[in-house]
Structures are given as structure tokens and as C-alpha cells.
Amino acid sequence: MRVEQRIGRIDRLGQRFPEIRIVNLHYANTVEADVYVALRQRIHLFENVVGRLQPILARLPALIASRVLEGRTKTDDDRQATVNDIEIEAARVAQSGFDIDAVTDADLSEPLQTASPMTMADLDRVIRSIALLLPGIEASPMGVREYAFQQPGLGGTIRITTDPAYYEENADNVELWSPGNPTFPPATGDEISDVGVGRLSDLLNKA
């Protein structure tokens, strides 16, 4: 798993060629090399990394470490015994258990969602209109769709934005002012009925 992660980083960090070749070197006559060859050539474990055999990969470091510390990897027979144990476990797991590879697209399909009654552009119009904000909320423009935001109980001023792209680039120090964010008024409740999402749509049409 660590090797695959390392390959992924190499493949995208300043990569200038359509193909790259990864070469993994192992010390000969070691249990690590024997296990790697068995996994790659006989069990084809790397082709099933997200399937039933994945849990075996997670246990391999501890298994190899314990065999080495117990002195059970010094001879060819010892190393072959370790490989045999892994192969037996792989064969057992391959015949049972949940296989994530077998999940169909239908099982993963998301339910159809209705379109939001408001867009981020609508919310930007709201945050710029004092008349549409709850009492005590203040939003002072700092830039394009960026505001210094204050509200009771917040304990200070924070930066908010109604631009999702800007938020993605500055998520560490800015909040996206949208439903679900703690700074955004909830859409239900008598005390905020005049600024619920549905009501905001009506107010915007009149603004």
C-alpha cells in the first residue's frame, strides 16, 4: 500500500512523460522478497488490492516483523513456510467475505436530488443586503464575494465567501457562507422564518 502511494506521488509530481516505469528492488533471499514475489506472481494480490484480499496487505508488515523477530526467516524453508501461510490465507479469504469489486454501479447510484431553490449568486445578494440579514449580523465587503462577517455569539470577525472556487483555494482561513455552515441561518424555526431559504427567494424577487 505504501509502494502504491509512493508511485502515485511520483506519477503526478512534475511528470512530463505519458508513461513511467517503476522498479522495486529487494534484497535476495529475504522473506520480504519472497513474499513480494508470491503476492505479485502467484496470488496476484496487487490486482485485488481493494477486493477481498485487501485485509491481508494490512496484516503483512506485522506478520513479517514477527517472523523476523522470532528468527523464522533465516532459511529457505522458513521463508517458504511464511509464503505458504500467506497463500493459504489468501485462498481462504478469496472464497468468502465481502468483495468490494463485486459491487455494481446500481448499488452505488445516488438518489435523484432536487435542484436548490437558491444559487450562490442569490446568497451573495442576500449577504450584501442588510434588510435580508438577521438582527445583529454584519457583513462588510473585503473583495469580490468576500466579507468580514460578525454575528452574535461568534466571538469575533471571520472571513466568509459566497464563491465556492475561492473557498476551495482558501479553505484554511475562510468560510463558505451556505446552508450547512454554522454561520448560515437555519431554514426553519419561528424566530428566523423571515430569512428561511424559501422566504429568501421571495424576498430576493422583491428586492
* Nearest of 68, 67, 58 to residue 85 by alpha carbon: 67
Q: What band does 191 get if pLDDT is binned at 50, 70 and 90?
A: very low
Residue 204 has pLDDT above 60, yes or no: no
Give me the amino acid identity at 139: A
Measured CA to CA, the distance from residue 139 to residue 156 in angstroms comes to 12
Measured CA to CA, the distance from residue 149 to residue 127 in angstroms comes to 9
Q: What band does 195 get if pLDDT is binned at 50, 70 and 90?
A: very low
pLDDT tens-digit map of 109-159:
666 767 767 788 888 988 888 877 888 889 999 989 999 999 888 888 999
SS3 state at 180: coil
Confidence (pTM): 0.41
- Residue 28: what pLDDT? 85
Beginning with the edge strand found earlier in the chain, give each strand of the sheet holding 175-176 in spatial order. 138-143, 146-150, 158-161, 175-176
Measured CA to CA, the distance from residue 193 to residue 186 in angstroms comes to 9
Residue 48 has pLDDT above 70, yes or no: no
Q: Are 131 and 199 in contact (CB under 8 A)?
A: no
Measured CA to CA, the distance from residue 74 to residue 70 in angstroms comes to 10
Give me the amino acid identity at 43: I
- Residue 132: what pLDDT? 78
Give the contacts of 192 (CB within 8 A, at least 6 positions apart).
134, 185, 186
Give me the amino acid identity at 190: D
Higher pLDDT, 141 or 95: 141
pLDDT tens-digit map of 158-171:
999 999 999 988 88
Measured at the CA of 8, the angle between CA 7 and CA 14, to 5 degrees, comes to 100
Share of the chain above pLDDT 90, in %: 12
- Residue 117: what pLDDT? 72
Measured CA to CA, the distance from residue 193 to residue 185 in angstroms comes to 10
Domain ranges for the chain: 2-108, 120-206
SS3 state at 131: helix
Share of the chain above pLDDT 70, in %: 68
- Residue 39: what pLDDT? 74
